[in-house]
Structure 1
Amino acid sequence: MVFVSITRLRIRSIRFLPSFAIHTFGANAQVRRADGFIAGSLLPDRKRTFWTMTLWQDQAAMRRFMTSGAHLRAMPKLMQWCDEASIVHWEQSGTNLPDWQDADQRMRTEGRPSKLLNPSLNHGDLSYLAPRTSRAAPLVRA
């Protein structure tokens, strides 16, 4: 079984995008080198919304990544930058990435919103627009 992690972040203002981009670049470099990382995908959606999908050997590997380096430095800033943020995890057999429609469905039914300082009206119940999946890009090991 592999561990799947999906995140969805919507940046609440264009003024936060430059800092978000810098931190995202560092976290993406970190994940590609992380022990236990198998594969992933990034999805820039509409209206300053960004999705990540990562597959891990196990939950412990994902947690080691999440609590270290560039990712750890970026996480506290998301409370200020985002007006919507959510996460969902599950285990699956096989190392094929799920499709984005499945990720969206699981986010809506099994996901949880993150704590934010300025949440949108849609944040708590995850009632966002379906993602536009045509711009997804692979995230591969370095």
Structure 2
Amino acid sequence: MADFFYVSITGLQLKRVWHAPRFWLHAAASMSQAKSADGCLSADARTIDGVHHTLTVWTSRKAMLAYLSTGAHLKAMKAFKSFATGKVYGFETAKVPAWPTAHALWLDKGRQV
């Protein structure tokens, strides 16, 4: 295992309920891509207070950026503004946060995308 990890926390909220099928198609494909991406150590998702979150852990920021800019995730990023709003937060850490800590960090430090 690495001495430091890169953690990415995202949270997206649908603009309208009828966007759900499109959102879930992109979300499922992006999660599948993340779980098999080089450098991805873990990928998890959950809905908290109506916001759809992901928590991914990477060997490095470089590995996360390689995932971010290709395949299903790239397609999802290009489409998401038509059906959702959201915030992201990424950081290097020696200790992977549990969901409650990750969510608190996202609330406090997330940037609008």
TM over 0.5: yes
Could you say which structure has the higher helix fraction?
A: 2
Aligned-partner Cα distance in 1 for 2:20–2:90: 26
Deviations 1:99-136 (A, max 9, x none): 2221122113222111xxxxxxxxxxxxxxxxxxxxxx
Structure 2 counterpart of 1:35: 38
Structure 2 counterpart of 1:112: 111
Report if aligned partners of 2:10, 2:53 keep a CA contact under 8 Å in 1.
Answer: yes
Aligned-partner Cα distance in 2 for 1:28–1:101: 20
C-alpha deviation, 1:13, in angstroms? 0.8
C-alpha deviation, 1:81, in angstroms? 0.7
Deviations 1:65-111 (A, max 9, x none): 000000000112111111x30001111114xx412221122113222
1:75 equivalenced with 2:66 (yes/no): no
Q: Partner amino acid for 2:45?
A: L
TM-score (structure 2 length as normaliser): 0.90
Aligned-partner Cα distance in 2 for 1:3–1:18: 30
State how 1:1-142 maps to structure 2 within 5 Å: 1-47=4-50, 49-82=51-84, 84-94=85-95, 97-114=96-113
Q: CA RMSD in A?
A: 1.3
Aligned-partner Cα distance in 2 for 1:75–1:2: 23
Which protein is bigger by CA-based radius of gyration? 1
Structure 2: tracts of 5 or more residues without a match: none
Report if aligned partners of 2:30, 2:73 keep a CA contact under 8 Å in 1.
Answer: yes
C-alpha deviation, 1:44, in angstroms? 2.0
Aligned-partner Cα distance in 2 for 1:41–1:29: 11
C-alpha deviation, 1:46, in angstroms? 3.8
Percent identity over paired residues: 26
Provide runs of 4+ in structure 1 moved above 4 Å: none
Structure 2 counterpart of 1:133: none
Q: Partner amino acid for 2:100?
A: Q
Aligned-partner Cα distance in 2 for 1:2–1:106: 16
How many equivalent pairs are there?
110
Q: Partner amino acid for 1:103?
A: A
Could you say which structure has the higher strand fraction?
A: 2
Q: Look up the SS of the partner of 2:11 in the other structure.
A: strand
Structure 1: tracts of 5 or more residues without a match: 115-142
